[in-house]
Amino acid sequence: MTTKAHCLALDAQDPLAHLRADFALPEGVIYLDGNSLGARPVAALERAREVVDLEWGDGLIRSWNSAGWRALPERLGNKLARLIGADEDEVVVTDTTSINLFKVLVAALRIQAQRDPARKVIVSEASNFPTDLYMAEGLANMLQQGYSLRLVQSPEELPEAIGTDTAVVMITHVNYKTGYLHDMAGLTALAHECGALTIWDLAHSAGAVPVDLKAANADYAIGCTYKYLNGGPGSPAFVWVSPDLRDQVWQPLSGWWGHARQFDMESHYEPAPGIGRYLCGTQPITSMALVECGLDIFAKTDMQALRRKSLALTDLFIELVRQRCATHPLTLVTPLEHARRGSHVSFEHPEGYAVIQALIERGVIGDYREPRIMRFGFTPLYTSFSDVWQAVETLGEILDSGTWQQERFRVRNRVT
Amino acid sequence: MTTKAHCLALDAQDPLAHLRADFALPEGVIYLDGNSLGARPVAALERAREVVDLEWGDGLIRSWNSAGWRALPERLGNKLARLIGADEDEVVVTDTTSINLFKVLVAALRIQAQRDPARKVIVSEASNFPTDLYMAEGLANMLQQGYSLRLVQSPEELPEAIGTDTAVVMITHVNYKTGYLHDMAGLTALAHECGALTIWDLAHSAGAVPVDLKAANADYAIGCTYKYLNGGPGSPAFVWVSPDLRDQVWQPLSGWWGHARQFDMESHYEPAPGIGRYLCGTQPITSMALVECGLDIFAKTDMQALRRKSLALTDLFIELVRQRCATHPLTLVTPLEHARRGSHVSFEHPEGYAVIQALIERGVIGDYREPRIMRFGFTPLYTSFSDVWQAVETLGEILDSGTWQQERFRVRNRVT
């Protein structure tokens, strides 16, 4: 039996417990949805005031220089690089994950078209985050050059699916539904053996699990800053490209910010050397500036410490659900094996949608993903072990009492 | 002789003078660069606090519904529509101008490929804003299907340049350098007669001059919210597509937000009906929310009243420069004809860069564009007639005294 006292003891020993004070979490809420929108760093409120009042209001156009707006994509990229195993000047923060995926996918296909034009297949998972599949579909649809998607139903099918016809393997490192953590180094090696390039979507892994792009010999990576990195709602995404590939081709979204000489206002495009060529148009500075508040908290710890706590939190959650909710039809979807588990845990329940609504009403915020999946994110920067205890206790009460069966919890009007 | 007293009298009679109080302008600055970054609405500071503290901090993921984040692109689009002659539910605010140009350019080319695949030319101006040309170049470069740009040197060459080989005419309605205001209805009619489609970049006209997309029978329009619309640094851009064309093809950046059923998480893309299909990925909510503060000020007036004051301001500026700076080598670049003039005025000076730097140091903020162009934006919401007087007086003093010849004004390290 794991007890509440044990959870409180874990909190008392938690070397990361002090970092919770860096976040402004509302009273009465246990937030297990940081994998969808990270909590607000305390510092973000004052930073927003600075950007809006001083930099925009007083500095006006001068702030492009004086407040360092021009250098934000690179400055933030450098702070983020250490979390994903990239080096200095290899990452920029810009645009959205979808847009960045489009850039790297076109770049990868162009390189493959030079190497072996017969490679026309993009391999991915059917359960990949839909927008990644949609972007690939939109690209194939536009190019009309015979590109197609090959979607596997489970990670085990990937080796079989990658072959001599494969241009790109496009995988979300941690699956958004199941929490399955792919073997980045192993899959990349397999793809390379077959002559394919790899694109890693780090949406659910940057800031959540240790990522080492360079050690894994990865080719391209994109990801989002508003989940585990706590950058703020819809804050700009990031992109990394292996230095070996970076300067070989243009990415197609060739806006002014990616030009080799941005302010010469030439009428022809010449891509900047380095990762700068993956920039495009003018960025939303207020949203972008707040990303730094989230990244600065990561500088107080390291991904190994975060990973240890993440696994302890998800282990505890799985154990407590089994202990407290054993009589209910809950099926664990997330791998038990540590090496294959991200930082969120998903359970199927036949009425998962209604159960999640009932939980949210009680202040335990997880989310729901089709079909039947209740998803709970564990963010070691601010989730405590007693949060986990209280969340499972509330889940147990809701399941036991059947309150989730009330009509109001079944009406689908949510957007998350 | 136009006197300072006359300018003060114009201010006293100005029916829009009270709107200046809606903006937080710094002391000691005359801001003539609202065509590059609009001034901060007073309301934006409190709105930023609300979004960051209450909506993000307290509401967390729930704010997608409860704070209306999900509906922001459409809600802002509807407020903007009336400024550009579009109807309800025809405009969305999203992504950047460059990205939106890519979407509509691909859409237009796809429609032309169905109608007449031999049309491979994109007609534009050599002096169009560079990023528009770069995006077209990037697209042509990616497609490798024989698309090319035909750039005219002056507006007069456009009729000659548009022909049976022309797929798209892509023009920035008000030229960013010269302030030349194109005849939208006339050029669109001409393009349509030749079988071409039109894309209008409204970056320097939305909120600056009356725009009537539907009366002009335009096909596509994009534009930015951070210039005359005062949305904040790098705030998201907008896109409008003629309802006749909107649902005919996919735009290629087919992210989740443009899906017909966004939250069913299907693995295949189906574009939403209507302008919603021009949405792509998750948007920077904090930056986006502030756009509303700028748009709400426009609801207190109308584009006709703004246009009257804009022309009065630019007339006064041109007249005062001639009166005060006659002995200096200044060449007016902007059309004198009202029908061809936007809301900014450009003068060439052989050392325009250094002169602008000297002006900025004295608190008169205009900007510089290659080659030799000093650019001054007049934003009737907050520019007064005595601002114009003071700006020209300062310019005259700088030119007379030759202070701009100091070395420090010649060092090019600006980024605007």
d(CA B221, CA B90): 11
Strands B238-241 and B220-223: antiparallel
B134·A259 Cβ contact <8 A: yes
Nearest alpha carbon to residue A379 among A78, A84, A23, A45: A23
A369·B265 Cβ contact <8 A: yes
d(CA A392, CA A387): 9
Q: State the pLDDT confidence band at A415, using cuts at 50, 70 and 90.
A: very low
AA identity, residue A68? G
Between B328 and A408, the more confident residue is B328
As to burial, measured by CB atoms within 10 angstroms (0-12 exposed, 13-18 middle, 19+ buried), residue B30 is buried
Question: pLDDT for A81-102, tens place per residue?
Answer: 999 999 999 999 999 999 999 9
Question: pLDDT for B87-132, tens place per residue?
Answer: 999 999 999 999 999 999 999 999 999 999 999 999 999 999 999 9
Q: How many residues does chain B have?
A: 416
pLDDT of residue B413: 57
Residues of A within 8 A of B70 (CB-CB) are: 415
pLDDT of residue B416: 42
Q: Over chain A, what is the mean pLDDT?
A: 96
Residues of B within 8 A of A142 (CB-CB) are: 106, 110, 250, 252
AA identity, residue A393? E
The verdict on whether A4 is a catalytic residue reads: no
- Residue A375 predicted with pLDDT over 70: yes
Nearest alpha carbon to residue A230 among A75, A384, A42: A42
Angle between helices B4-13 and B385-401 (to 10 degrees): 160
- Residue A107 predicted with pLDDT over 90: yes
Residues of A within 8 A of B138 (CB-CB) are: 250-254, 269
pTM reported for the whole predicted model: 0.97
Residues of B within 8 A of A280 (CB-CB) are: 96, 98-99
Contact B38, B383 (CB under 8 A): no
Residues of B within 8 A of A135 (CB-CB) are: 253-255
Q: Which residues contact B31 (CB under 8 A, 6 or more apart)?
A: A60, B25, B39, B365, B379, B382, B383
What percent of chain A stands above pLDDT 70?
99
A250·B142 Cβ contact <8 A: yes
pLDDT of residue B415: 45
Question: pLDDT for A317-349, tens place per residue?
Answer: 999 999 999 999 999 999 999 999 999 999 999
B255·A48 Cβ contact <8 A: no
Residues of B within 8 A of A68 (CB-CB) are: none
Catalytic residue among A14, A95, A201, A367: A201
Contact A345, A388 (CB under 8 A): no
pLDDT of residue B412: 76
The DSSP string of B352-403 is HHHHHHHHHHTTEE-EEETTTEEEEE--TTT--HHHHHHHHHHHHHHHHHTG
pLDDT of residue A303: 98
Residues of B within 8 A of A268 (CB-CB) are: 133-134, 137
- Residue A305 predicted with pLDDT over 80: yes
pLDDT of residue A265: 83
d(CA B103, CA B168): 13
B61·A36 Cβ contact <8 A: yes
Question: Nearest residue of A to residue B372 by CA position?
Answer: A264
B27, B98, B109, B353: best mutation site toward chain A, by most A Cβ within 10 Å?
Answer: B98
B416·A237 Cβ contact <8 A: no
- Residue A416 predicted with pLDDT over 60: no
Question: pLDDT for B61-72, tens place per residue?
Answer: 999 999 999 999
Closest in A65, A266, A282 to B130, CB measured? A266
Q: What is residue B201's three-state secondary structure? A: strand
pLDDT of residue B401: 96
B137·A268 Cβ contact <8 A: yes
Q: How distant is the Cα of A325 from the closest Cα of chain B, in angstroms?
A: 26
Strand order in the sheet with B331-332: B331-332, B344-348, B373-377, B367-369
Q: How distant is the Cα of B69 from the closest Cα of chain A, in angstroms?
A: 9
B255·A56 Cβ contact <8 A: no
Q: How distant is the Cα of B188 from the closest Cα of chain A, in angstroms?
A: 24
Q: How many residues does chain A have?
A: 416
Angle between helices A303-324 and A4-13 (to 10 degrees): 180
Closest in A106, A253, A367 to B99, CB measured? A253
Closest in A52, A131, A263 to B48, CB measured? A52
- Residue A414 predicted with pLDDT over 60: no
Q: How far is CA B251 from CA A185, B142, B158, in A?
A: 35, 15, 27
Closest in A52, A251, A367 to B61, CB measured? A367
Contact A211, A84 (CB under 8 A): yes
pLDDT of residue A413: 56
Question: pLDDT for A187-215, tens place per residue?
Answer: 999 999 999 999 999 999 999 999 999 99
pLDDT tens, position by position, for chain B (416 residues)? 999 999 999 999 999 999 999 999 999 999 999 999 999 999 999 999 999 999 999 999 999 999 999 999 999 999 999 999 999 999 999 999 999 999 999 999 999 999 999 999 999 999 999 999 999 999 999 999 999 999 999 999 999 999 999 999 999 999 999 999 999 999 999 999 999 999 999 999 999 999 999 999 999 999 999 999 999 999 999 999 999 999 999 999 999 999 999 888 888 999 999 999 999 999 999 999 999 999 999 999 999 999 999 999 999 999 999 999 999 999 999 999 999 999 999 999 999 999 999 999 999 999 999 889 999 999 999 999 999 999 999 999 999 999 999 988 988 754 44
The arithmetic mean of pLDDT across residues A358-370, rounded, is: 95
AA identity, residue B390? Q
Question: pLDDT for A22-75, tens place per residue?
Answer: 999 999 999 999 999 999 999 999 999 999 999 999 999 999 999 999 999 999
Q: Count how many pairs of residues, chain A against chain B, have C-beta atoms within 8 Å.
A: 305
AA identity, residue B59? G
d(CA A409, CA B7): 64
The arithmetic mean of pLDDT across residues A127-154, rounded, is: 96
pLDDT of residue B35: 96
Residues of A within 8 A of B370 (CB-CB) are: 263-265
Catalytic residue among A102, A226, A298, A382: A226
A290·B285 Cβ contact <8 A: no
Could you give the residue numbers annotated as active site of B? Answer: 129, 201, 226-227, 375
Q: What is residue A169's three-state secondary structure? A: strand
The verdict on whether A227 is a catalytic residue reads: yes
